[in-house]
Amino acid sequence: MSVVTMPDTAAPRPFAASLLPIMGAVFVGFLVIGVAMPVLPLYVDDGLGFGTFVVGLVAGSQFAASLISRPWAGHYSDGRGAKRAVFAGLLAASASGLIYLGSLLFRGAPGASVAMLLLGRGVLGGAESFIITAAVSWGLAIVDARNIGKVIAWVGSAMFAAFAIGAPVGSALYAGYGFAAIAVVTVLAPLVTLLLIAPLPAVEPGKHARASFVEVIGAVWVPGLGSALGSVGFGAVTTFVALLFAARGWANGWSAYTAYAVAFILARVFFSHLADKIGGAKVALVCAAIEAGGQALIWLAARPDMALAGAALTGFGFSLIYPGFGVEAVRRVPAQSRGLAMGAYTAFLDLAQGLASPALGLIAAGARLNVLFLVSSATVLCASCVAWWLIENPSPLEGPSE
């Protein structure tokens, strides 16, 4: 089937019909991250015999690689086309699975095996950067400009739906077949996704002059900082909640990932329009407080149901922090630089995750494991301060939110 190329001047198509195929591509592509989320901490800790700091390092390597590759992903998406950038990301994701398989050859030398895992996670981080940056840019180009927040929210929902489904699937595969099954899925799922997006229409890149990365960073750094602070709770749950369940002797640690992701998706289904309607900063202000409360609840959890409730509150809060601050970021740059803007904006999230995961791991190594969730709660609450500043200093391109 031939690919239809649409110019930037094409009239916006119906929202759901335009975005659902792209969301499907993001969903399948991010299953490879979802299946590994509850597994890698256990594999590195129990299977290879390393502690929480190395667990945080392996998790953080993906975010560090994503951070480094964001400018490249944004430039590539704006200059060569979002569809081509998604293709590149999916191929890189499949390659990371091959590296996972290679790490299994070094099980007798744990240091070498962890080094291979770090490399595989790094390649996957670059892949993730291309996939999500280009997918959002693709969506923004084909729907009505009044739906910036909804595009960011819906595409992100596909990502977290993959996390929700991938967590129990990954846990079951790991329990039944070991880490090799995770590696095989990581190889195959992105290749299947290539077939899914091949028939989709591409969007021809804009011919207007685009802003430089330095200019875009200057425009989006404040909402980016807010998103970074708000993302620390996300990193705490995805990296350490399974270890908390294991340390307390609670079964089904994967259920915390699912509780997080289900609450995340429900919030976006019912409230994704709020950032466009009342202003992204106002939404982020409230949701940062909700996420901080969820992290505090995990810190205080004496039973697994308390931890699950905390994970759900964390997911609900963070679900709208990212599109809330994202609306503020996109409105601060010209339309032809949206891919680079999303790359720069998301780079702040990557920086936070790359630093926060190892830092929280060190905190957990020097104190009780639950203490890291208290530190995360205090950090997330600072995102509310950033949101308040944005409310007082609205976008120079759009003016005050209605």
| Model pLDDT, residue 396 | 57
State the Cα angle at 230 between 229 and 233, rounded to 5°: 105
Phi, psi at 183, each rounded to 5°: -65, -40
Give the model's pLDDT for residue 75: 75
Amino acid identity for residue 46 in this structure: D
Query: What domains are defined for the chain?
Result: 8-203+212-392 (1.20.1250.20)
SS3 202: strand
Higher pLDDT, 183 or 211: 183
Contacts of 60 (CB under 8 A, 6+ apart): 353, 354, 355, 356, 357, 358
pLDDT in tens, 263-304: 888 888 888 778 778 888 889 999 999 999 999 998 888 888
3-state SS, residue 268: helix
Q: Is 236 exposed, middle or buried, given 0-12, 13-18 or 19+ CB atoms closer than 10 A?
A: buried
Most confident region among 44-53, 132-141, 299-308, 327-336 by mean pLDDT: 299-308
Give ∠ CA 118-66-263 in degrees, rounded to 5. Answer: 100
Task: Write down the pLDDT at residue 401.
Answer: 39
Among 32-36, 244-248, 343-347, 377-381, the minimum mean pLDDT is found in 343-347
Higher pLDDT, residue 367 or 354: 354
Helix 371-392, helix 232-248: angle, nearest 10:
160
C-alpha distances (whole Å) from 355 to each of 44, 229, 239, 311, 394 are 19, 11, 13, 21, 29
Read off the tokens for 385.
Answer: 């301060």
Rounded mean pLDDT of 368-397?
A: 84
Q: Which residue has the higher pLDDT, 6 or 373?
A: 373
Tell me how far apart the alpha carbons of residues 319 and 57 are, in angstroms, rounded to a whole number: 25
| Residue 105, both tokens | 């050859």
The mean pLDDT of 379-401, rounded to a whole number, is: 76
The more confident residue out of 368 and 121 is 121
Per-residue pLDDT, 17? 67
Q: What pLDDT, on the 0 to 100 scale, is given for residue 15? A: 64
- Percent of the chain surpassing pLDDT 70: 86
Task: Give the position of tokens 């923004």.
Answer: 140
Query: Rounded distance, CA 17 to CA 386, Å?
Result: 35
Measured from the Cβ of residue 201, the count of other Cβ atoms closer than 10 Å reads 17
How many Å apart are CA 34 and CA 59, to the nearest integer?
A: 13
CA angle (310, 323, 294) in 5-degree steps:
10
pLDDT, residue 151, reads 80
Of 10-24, 35-49, 136-150, which range is least confident? 10-24
Share of the chain above pLDDT 90, in %: 10
Q: State the Cα–Cα distance between residues 19 and 360, nearest whole angstrom.
A: 36
Q: Which of 303, 204, 300 is nearest to 250 (CA)?
A: 303
Decide which of 316 and 209 is more confident: 316
Which tens digit of pLDDT belongs to each residue from 237-266?
877 887 888 877 887 777 788 888 788 888
* Whether the Cβ atoms of residue 150 and residue 267 lie closer than 8 Å to each other: no
